[in-house]
């Protein structure tokens, strides 16, 4: 009986548990990959209440553009920078988290990419990352 459990029951139970995980991914996408095929399926997407893929891509691009600040970025420092160092590199400190070694840098009058590159070239800077934009949903905080 143990041999039966080991070679028949266990694989069947494993397949039964894993099959639902893969089935939705296979059923969600159209299997025909021809140019313009998504336009042929527009009525299907609309009847299911889903967005058409071109519209989804456009909204993702718009969301990506809005998700990062256009004038601030975050740096991680190995050693702190002075105010004159920040001015030389093209930024001003907006917020500092000294305990963690992070600073939020604001850029005015220069290209964000150029200033980020200048900070990245400094040996005291461990990393440079764009600052994510967010909206405070708690209207009681001001």
How confident is the model over 15-43, as pLDDT tens digits?
777 666 655 554 444 444 444 444 456 66
Instruction: Please indicate, yes or no, if residue 91 is contained in any of the structural domains.
Output: yes
- Domain count across the chain: 1
Say which CATH number the domain at 121 has: 3.30.70.80
pLDDT digits (tens, 9 = 90+) for 119-128: 999 999 999 9
Mean pLDDT of all residues belonging to the chain: 76
Residue 99 within any structural domain of the chain: yes
90 falls within a domain: yes
Is 125 domain-assigned? yes
Residue 97 clears pLDDT 80, i.e. is over it: yes
Q: Whole domain around residue 78: which residue ranges?
A: 67-132
DSSP per position, the chain: -HHHIIIIIHHHHHHHHHHHHHHHHHHHS-S---TTHHHHTHHHHHHHT---HHHHHHHHHHHHHHSEEEEEEEEEESS---HHHHHHHT-EEEEEETTTTEEEEE--SS-HHHHHHHHHHSTTEEEEEEEEP-----TT--
Q: Is residue 122 part of a domain?
A: yes
pLDDT, mean of residues 50-73:
73
pTM of the model: 0.52
User: Who has greater pLDDT, 10 or 38?
Assistant: 10
d(CA 130, CA 132) in angstroms, rounded, equals 6
User: Does residue 2 belong to any structural domain of this protein?
Assistant: no
pLDDT of residue 3: 65
């Amino acid at each position: 009986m143990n041999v039966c459990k080991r070679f028949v029951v266990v694989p069947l139970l494993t397949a039964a548990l894993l099959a639902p995980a893969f089935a939705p991914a296979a059923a969600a996408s159209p299997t025909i990959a021809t140019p313009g095929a998504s336009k042929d399926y527009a009525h299907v997407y609309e009847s299911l209440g889903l967005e058409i893929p071109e519209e989804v891509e456009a909204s993702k691009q718009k969301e990506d553009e809005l998700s990062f600040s256009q004038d601030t970025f975050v740096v991680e420092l190995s050693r702190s920078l002075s105010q004159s160092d920040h001015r030389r590199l093209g930024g001003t400190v907006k917020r500092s988290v000294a305990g963690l070694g992070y600073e939020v840098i604001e850029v005015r009058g220069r290209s964000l990419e150029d200033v980020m590159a200048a900070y990245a070239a400094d040996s005291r800077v461990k990393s440079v990352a764009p600052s994510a934009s967010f909206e405070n949903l708690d209207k009681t905080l001001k």
